[in-house]
Structure 1
């Protein structure tokens, strides 16, 4: 009974019952193996000074009760969790949804060349990628937007994981939080800020914009700019993309 009351009372903040080990008191005893395996129906009376009633029967009964309590706890909270709710729609053409309006004010019309667009879907993630550039066949200013809708897991759990793939390509990176953009957002930049990634997570979706700039000086008729202006433009364009895909 004490184990049952402990199981009923020991709940985590989410309401799920946590089963604890039964208390091991003086009465918890076991019989030798040959006694425990005696044929059924051969009841034996306890001898003087011998072991008392078989406590392992009580333990088996307690386990059954505990299992029932566990099942009841799951039923009380609605059973095993289903697929998470996603607050955003899947993009059928991200280059149409991603206007890049503010970044285009810095680098020139990013949609004047043929945008490169890809989508994918499986049971876990619906993904979409759009790649844009302002110069044909030249390394000047390229932008990649990406959206992943996580249908089976919460993407915020891995939000702080280090970007090892990015670090392998550009070396050391620095990260700073970006307030007021989704549930959480962060700007990741390489040395010299020639490569920057802004990522945000919100409503079961992960969004990102990457900018690769050959130089922040004047180039191909584009006026000189600075990294802070690009970061501000990335934040504004990502905010518009998040609003465009919200259900």
Structure 2
């Protein structure tokens, strides 16, 4: 019968001498790659910072696309030939008004016609706004400023095929019309107004007694605004 010491001895004698010597010296662990850790930390920090910067850019509201330029003299760019024919011809134009601001450029022009003293008078006013900092789309559907000031309850109709969004407001009494168009950061507004009663007996220049119907005025306003947008478009 083999005793335990014999077993131990047999096991030791069966092992190679090299193995026994290796047991006598503690094994050295591989060195830790500290420089790889440092590089990984730097790279991770850079990526994280870059991600935050990109995320911040995405969170920051972008300005609207600037597709148009506002001229110094809008009356030269907007003679409103279609509206002039529909309304009986314009007699005078008001001095051009412009404004320049880092947030918005704008220009306006108006044409008047009809008899003297308000007999059968009418006017056409155009306003161009170029929003450069904020997108006008969220406020565009709210209507015009006079609605908010006077609390007018009017309905706007969509006009497809004109800019990104176009709305028209027709007067049931036939005394006016307003067309508003939004395209990128630009807003175009044309407002037509009739007032008084034409008196053809006292003034041969007075407009015809029958005012143009709303469809005729709308078609003329759309034609003139489309031409104005083409004239002011950049590139």
Shorter-chain TM-score tier: 0.5 to 0.7
In 2: Cα distance, 1:170 partner to 1:85 partner: 32
In 2: Cα distance, 1:85 partner to 1:196 partner: 28
Q: Which position in structure 1 is the counterpart of 2:165?
A: 184
Q: CA deviation at 1:172?
A: 2.8
> Compared with structure 1, are the counterparts of its residues 218 and 241 closer, same or farther at alpha carbon in structure 2 (3 Å cutoff)?
farther
Q: CA deviation at 1:131?
A: 1.1
Deviating runs (4+, > 6 A) in structure 1? 215-219
Q: Which has the larger radius of gyration?
A: 2
Q: Which position in structure 1 is the counterpart of 2:81?
A: 101
TM-score by length of 1: 0.64
Q: Which position in structure 2 is the counterpart of 1:129?
A: 108
In 2: Cα distance, 1:176 partner to 1:167 partner: 18
For the 8 Å contact 2:82–2:224, the answer to whether it is kept is yes
Greater helix share, structure number: 2
Q: CA deviation at 1:218?
A: 8.6
How many residue pairs match? The answer is 182
For the 8 Å contact 2:93–2:109, the answer to whether it is kept is no
In 2: Cα distance, 1:199 partner to 1:146 partner: 9
Matches within 5 A, 1:66-145: 69=48, 71-75=50-54, 80=60, 83-110=63-90, 112-135=91-114, 136-138=116-118, 140-145=121-126
Q: CA deviation at 1:140?
A: 1.7
Gaps of 5+ in 1: 1-64
Q: Which position in structure 2 is the counterpart of 1:229?
A: 216
For the 8 Å contact 1:186–1:199, the answer to whether it is kept is yes
TM-score by length of 2: 0.67
Q: CA deviation at 1:193?
A: 3.5
> Compared with structure 1, are the counterparts of its residues 124 and 188 closer, same or farther at alpha carbon in structure 2 (3 Å cutoff)?
same
Gaps of 5+ in 2: 1-43, 201-205
In 1: Cα distance, 2:62 partner to 2:158 partner: 31
Q: 88-97 or 190-199, which moves further after superposition? A: 190-199
Q: CA deviation at 1:159?
A: 1.4
Q: CA deviation at 1:84?
A: 3.7
Deviations 1:53-77 (A, max 9, x none): xxxxxxxxxxxx99x7475143378
In 2: Cα distance, 1:237 partner to 1:149 partner: 18
Return the match for 1:213 from 183, 191, 194.
Answer: 194
Q: CA deviation at 1:78?
A: 5.8
Q: CA deviation at 1:183?
A: 0.5
Q: Which position in structure 1 is the counterpart of 2:231?
A: 244
Q: CA deviation at 1:100?
A: 0.4
In 2: Cα distance, 1:166 partner to 1:90 partner: 26
Secondary structure, aligned partner of 1:116: coil
